[in-house]
Amino acid sequence: MITVHHLENSRSQRVLWLLEELGLPYEIRRYARNPKTMLAPPELRAVHPLGKSPVIVDTSGDTTRTVAETGAIVEYLVEMADGRLGAPAHRESALLYRQFLHYAEGSLMPPLLVKLVLTRVPIFGKAAQKRIQPMIDVHLDFVEAELARRPWFAGESMTAADVMMSFPLEAARSRGGLDESRPATIAWLNKVHARPAYQTALAKGGPYAYA
């Protein structure tokens, strides 16, 4: 059995969505953020030394495995499902899959996180946000151009790369300047949110401000 240690309003919502898409059995242990600091509770340190979410614990085999980092979890679950929603067979699509699987957290998410931090900085925060927004816009323009060419990030069908890209683009919609001026990206988000597996994961996951 897979246990997902799930923090509200966090990246771990993607893990629940992927599990629903793959049809793998799992259970959820939910954690609430500290209402003042918005940080994860200390109980998560008992699961993994970093005290972060998502973390999964797999007890389905002979060995209990604890896996952290969303990208690593996504690859682990795709492997468990015999490659479903993994890299497409076509080489160019497979390269796109790998690119966006890593781009989500490696390039797109950092400036969005910086902007979030700056919203909580008094006095100088607003001025600094104006400097970070052009950096975010470069990414949003890149994503828009990619999604204008094809319906999903790796080609004609949804893959785990789309799962990885969901959280940063939801965050961008919430606080990063993503709006109807980038119609292909908005259409992609609407398509993601309409998927039955996404809706089921949302119902099971609890508070999530970005859907």
Tens digits of residue pLDDT in 54-106: 999 999 988 999 999 999 999 999 999 999 999 999 999 999 999 999 999 99
Nearest one of 152, 148, 187 to 21, comparing CA atoms: 152
What CATH code would you report for 91-195? 1.20.1050.10
The Cα-based distances of 36 to 19, 40, 92, 131, 188 in angstroms read 31, 11, 46, 27, 34
Nearest one of 91, 90, 62, 74 to 21, comparing CA atoms: 74
Q: Is 152 helix (H, G, I), strand (E, B) or coil?
A: strand
Integer Cα distance of 143 and 132 in angstroms: 17
Output the average pLDDT for the chain: 94
Tokens 């809706």, residue located: 199
Architecture of domain 2-85+197-205: 3-Layer(aba) Sandwich (3.40)
Tokens 């900085």, residue located: 121
Q: How confident is the model at residue 35 (pLDDT cuts 50, 70, 90)?
A: confident
pLDDT of residue 38: 80
Please state the pTM of the whole predicted model: 0.94
Q: How wide is the angle at C-alpha 19 spanned by C-alphas 71 and 167, nearest 5°?
A: 50
Assigned token pair, 107:
């390039």
Q: How confident is the model at residue 203 (pLDDT cuts 50, 70, 90)?
A: very high
Residues of the chain with CATH 3.40.30.10: 2-85+197-205
pLDDT of residue 121: 67
pLDDT of residue 178: 97
